[in-house]
Structure 1
Amino acid sequence: MPSPKRLGKAERRRQILLALRMSPHVRVTELAARFGVTTETVRRDMDALGAEGLLTRAHGGASAPVPGHRDMHERRLERVTIREQLGRFAASFVSDGDTIMIDAGTTTMEFARALSLAERRVTAITNSLQVAMVLGQSRAARIRLAPGTYMPEEAAIVGTEACEYLSGYNVDACYLGGAGLGEKGVTEIVEGFDAIKRTMMRQSAECRFLIDSSKFGRTFLSRVAECSEIGTLITDAPPGAALTRLLGHPTQVIVAPPPNETRIDGA
């Protein structure tokens, strides 16, 4: 990469868009340091790119818009720190040589990013284009992307063909998200995601759900797993007493430590 001081306006803006292909959110201060310019310069660059519809300004930086659907884009801007925290912590459960399945979602994408940054040597099977792209940046990871019907609003593959493909593999663990966790268990709001998640669960020796506390008590149309089928719940805060009783044995509830205490070393 050329020296930051040599970047012209056009190249600097191209680099911003390139960074957004690798991350759901980029920060003004980090880009200013990277390019060797002031934060005001980066903000002007982002304003210009935003006016062209190439990014969306938010949270002290910018995010890439998701074509054709704002729902996932909006979710990516919510509870960013929590999702990063859960993703990094969940990555500490993965060891070199593991085979895993990862479903589509904003939190599982952060999990994939943590694995990529740690250069964990894994074989990952996914239905998420974003997970595949993020984890695929690591030379240590082998990625297999399920075929099927593409949902541009979720950047994900769903359908019978995808489930049949996933059924052809047996893996050490699956890492899944969920739209809600309540008395009915884990439920999903996106059509087709429930079948993908259930298939991944069947093909995995261990199931690990990454669900933040904002989703506790919520129930949606499609059931993914009953409370007794969850396996391990990785979250950011202890569930309330009522939900804890429903989870019970054999579900293991693990609360992620604060971000500065999270490790990605397999320990």
Structure 2
Amino acid sequence: MLAPQRQAAILDRVRATGGVRVTDLATEFGVSDMTIRRDLEALADRGLLAKVHGGATSMQPGSTDEPGFAAKSIRQQAEKAGIAARAAELVTPGIAIALSAGTTTAELARRLTDVAGLTVVTNSIPVADIFYRSGRPDQTVVLTGGVRTPSDALVGPVAVGAIRTLHLDVLFLGVHGMSERAGFTTPNLMEADTNRALVGAAERLVVLADHTKWGTVGISSMAALEEAHTVVTDAGLPDAGQAILTEHVAELVIVS
């Protein structure tokens, strides 16, 4: 396959899935990682995609664009790890928590598999799988039913109906975007309904959002800024965003 043909195929994949990994593309096309990196650089130079660590993502997302779980998992990995580690300090043995779908909440799940007596409610297939694979017998994991989204969330009336019967201590909510006007948002209308049900079921709302989420607005709002008890983010948050969140949120935690 010639380089232009391979680059066209890569671009089609990015547009279809929202992002790609260098290692996956190298295996698929039978070329070296360096060859794929040169392809991605050529496409990025033309403004057709955005290079990120380990791969590439689509450019200029709209309010309804929803990258897949794998595509999002290669974005801001260090920031998400720091946010998850700090959020894990808020979890104590024996409580009932909810983890919404998202790559940052999945990072948090990996840090909670050793917490004794934990009850976890989630609409995320990857999050449920993390707890399932840990096999800790004193943890209870409840996976809602529902329709699967590109980000591996289960949403819709089945999920909402199950969540509305529950009473939870803390919800850890991953978001697509956050802004002063729109609050915390998602690009998926059905996921917004499901996450609003999670917000309503929890005594405390903790939002996990890296700095790139500030100023991004999805099509549907899940909660106003004032509804969050805590927002955990990273030091890349712009000064304007820090000032607004400090004004509207009870506690802003910035992870360095």
1:242 to 232, 240, 243: 240
Tell me, in whole angstroms, the C-alpha distance in 2 between the residues paired with 1:200 and 1:123: 15
Which digits, 9 at most, give the CA deviation of each residue in 1:145-199, with x for residues without a partner?
1112223x32221001101100111010000111111122111113322111111
Alignment counterpart, residue 83 of structure 1, candidates 70, 76, 80 = 80
The residue type equivalent to 1:192 in the other structure is: M
Match of 2:103 among 106, 112, 130: 106
Equivalence for 1:72: 69
Q: Quick one: which amino acid aligns to residue 233 of structure 1?
A: V
What is the letter of the counterpart of residue 217 of structure 1?
G
Contact 2:155–2:191, Cα closer than 8 Å, also in 1? yes
Write the letter of the residue equivalent to 2:227: E
| AA in 2 matched with 1:251 | A
Aligned-residue Cα RMSD (Å) equals 2.9
- 1:20-39 to 2 correspondences below 5 Å: none
Q: Secondary structure at the match of 1:115?
A: coil
- Specify whether residues 253 and 238 from structure 1 end up closer, same or farther in structure 2 by C-alpha distance, changes over 3 A only: farther
Structure-1 residue corresponding to 2:119: 123
Gaps of 5+ in 1: 1-45, 62-68, 258-267
| SS of residue matched to 1:192 | helix
Distance 1:77 1:241 in 2: 25
Give percent identity, aligned residues only.
27
Amino acid at match of 2:228: I
Tell me the distance in 1 between the aligned counterparts of 2:25 and 2:110: 28
Equivalent-residue separation in structure 2 for 1:229 and 1:199 (angstroms): 13
Q: Which residue of 2 aligns with 1:218?
A: 216
Query: Normalising by the residue count of structure 1, what TM-score does the alignment of the two structures yield?
Result: 0.67
Of 84, 93, 96, the match for 2:93: 96
Q: Report the Cα offset of residue 115 of structure 1.
A: 0.6
The more displaced of 229-238 and 103-112 is: 229-238
Q: Would you say the 8 A contact 1:103–1:196 is kept in 2?
A: no
Please tell me whether residue 169 in structure 1 is matched to residue 159 in structure 2: no
TM-score normalised per structure 2: 0.70
Q: 1:190 aligns with which of 188, 191, 196?
A: 188
Partner of 1:231: 229
Unaligned runs of 5+ in 2: 1-22, 37-51, 56-65
Question: After TM superposition, what 4+ stretches of structure 1 lie above 6 angstroms from structure 2?
Answer: 46-49
Distance 1:220 1:150, change over 3 A: closer
1:115 is aligned with what amino acid? L
Report the Cα distance in structure 2 between the residues aligned to 1:225 and 1:48, rounded to whole angstroms: 38
Distance in 1, matches of 2:73 and 2:236, equals: 23
**Alpha-carbon distance in structure 1 between the residues aligned to 2:28 and 2:216:** 37
Rate the CA distance shift 1:119–1:48 in 2: closer, same or farther, 3 A: same
